[in-house]
A and B are shown apart, each in its own frame.
Chain A
């Protein structure tokens, strides 16, 4: 380990690989961003060229702003993502804490049952979910999406978080008990801050698929007031004609909020890691 760090060839190789990976990962995003600022013809003539004075055009953004209620879509996506993440983290952490901390009959079985969801894709149950949402009158509400995404995210959250909860010092929890803190206070004030890095990981894992999902919005909440951004962008993709300017502009704008959420969570991630290392 120490040696590898000193060897300049190794360092170069390592950085080279990482830079290459970064370029590959960022390339599609780069192409989307660049082309969203170009006129339609320029997109097809030279897809990789940067926009210049001739090809520069905001036509895509103008179409997006004119067409439909894009800010509402944004808002819907944001509400659904943030609320789902909130419930996943809250209930996931609570279940994980109970599984990790308390001895009760069927503890192991319950843990396995909760983890089973990782292996079974929730989309298999789409028809049943739709029937349930119709029966409860939740179709075309954001709650339908929030509930489904929470259910989808919980298994992995419980699985990851319960591993981390086991590593939280027993002494600390016991010190809280001796000092008269309630189990809820111990959970929220002592344990949760210590598993923050794991919570951030779970949040990042869940955030992107929820934000990008097309399946459930299309089935459960396709009405105009509850459309999410991904669903909203579909109006520009037609069977015969696709308004590429608008699609690329919509996608470019859709990147921003996820980016902001990611920055928030990843800062937590890094802070958690370093605070653990310093101790």
Chain B
């Protein structure tokens, strides 16, 4: 069964079209991540799904029921917000039970769900505290708990980790992944952080300027990006792009090599002057200049490289990605055809 189906969804604010013909199907139990740079429309898309914004045209179906005209609370969704958005006048229990009380659920059921959710999220010691007495991580867990108790058909997460510090972010990320495994519920997660997208998603939807650039599993997108934008957006540090005439092989307009695919080679095709070195222990990131072009190479292990040093980098031809003038990917077969 599909948990969510978007058909030709468009959204405009006045003259500005922020979502352009979005089509998407989310299977039941799937974890789908919307990722893209800020302003790409990913949050607006989530709000359209939630019913907080109306689609200008197109159809939104949740659990095979068209919900375009349904208010958010009737759509069988629960949402976790970036700023937690806890009710300041209610304690943790009150925050978690409010929606169920609005639905007039029996007390025993509410109690049972709260106990279950608070155990799952280790919130039991804080159940009677108010949001102002909780730390950021605890508040985020309450916000997630508020979503869990509703047992929705679809969970919506709107950049839930961006207000947390780095260490907490990683822990909460793992918690969310565990939660998805335990609940088996369908989840849609919006983020601009490609690490979150890669680590959490069953499928990633890459958005740019209100358009879907590519949909696929994290490894599909990483190994087989269909255009230059997706290739550059996923992977950290991001892919290096060169004009094709830099290296006389392949074809097309631009070619790209991931930093981890560049290696030091005596006979390498790329001669670059090192401008900066980042020692990370397990890896060494080398930022170097080829004339005006900046490239990044990620070398495994520790290397003693000086700034100003000249280095030769090489790469395996099969690790290069070729793109045409519009940034569309040229696969090996059609490169041969064109050249």
Cβ-neighbour of A178 out of B72, B83, B132 (below 8 A): B72
Cβ-neighbour of A171 out of B71, B73, B81 (below 8 A): B81
0/1 interface trace, chain B 62-82, chain A, CB 8 Å (1 if under): 000000000111100111011
Q: Is the CB of B82 within 8 A of A178?
A: no
- A224, B72: Cα distance in complex, Å: 56
Q: Is the CB of A179 within 8 A of B73?
A: yes
Q: Is A137 part of the contact surface with B, judged by Cβ < 8 Å?
A: no
Q: How large is the interface on A (under 10, 10 to 19, 20 to 34, 35 or more residues)?
A: 10 to 19
B332 to chain A, nearest CB (A): 47
Interface-central residue, B72, B77, B85, by most chain A CB under 10 Å: B85
Q: How large is the interface on B (under 10, 10 to 19, 20 to 34, 35 or more residues)?
A: 20 to 34
Cβ-neighbour of B71 out of A177, A189, A190, A278 (below 8 A): A177
Cβ-neighbour of B89 out of A175, A177, A180, A189 (below 8 A): A189
A109 to chain B, nearest CB (A): 16
0/1 interface trace, chain A 173-188, chain B, CB 8 Å (1 if under): 0111111110000000
Q: Is B98 part of the contact surface with A, judged by Cβ < 8 Å?
A: yes
- Looking at chain A's contact residues, is the secondary structure mostly helix, strand, loop, or mixed? helix
B118 to chain A, nearest CB (A): 17
User: How many residue pairs, one in A and one in B, have C-beta atoms under 8 Å apart?
Assistant: 63
0/1 interface trace, chain B 20-57, chain A, CB 8 Å (1 if under): 00000000000000000000000000010011100000
- A118, B47: Cα distance in complex, Å: 37
Q: Is the CB of A174 within 8 A of B79?
A: yes
If A169-B83, A174-B52 touch, whether A181 touches B102 (CB-CB below 8 Å) is yes
Q: Is the CB of B88 within 8 A of A177?
A: no
0/1 interface trace, chain A 185-229, chain B, CB 8 Å (1 if under): 000011001100000000000000000000000000000000000
Q: Hey, which bits of chain B sit against chain A, CB under 8 A?
A: 47, 50-52, 71-74, 77-79, 81-89, 98-99, 102-103, 132, 146, 158
A sample of 21 inter-chain contacts (CB < 8 A) reads A169-B83, A169-B85, A171-B83, A171-B84, A171-B158, A174-B47, A174-B50, A175-B85, A175-B146, A176-B87, A177-B51, A178-B52, A178-B73, A179-B99, A180-B74, A180-B103, A181-B102, A190-B87, A193-B88, A193-B89, A275-B132
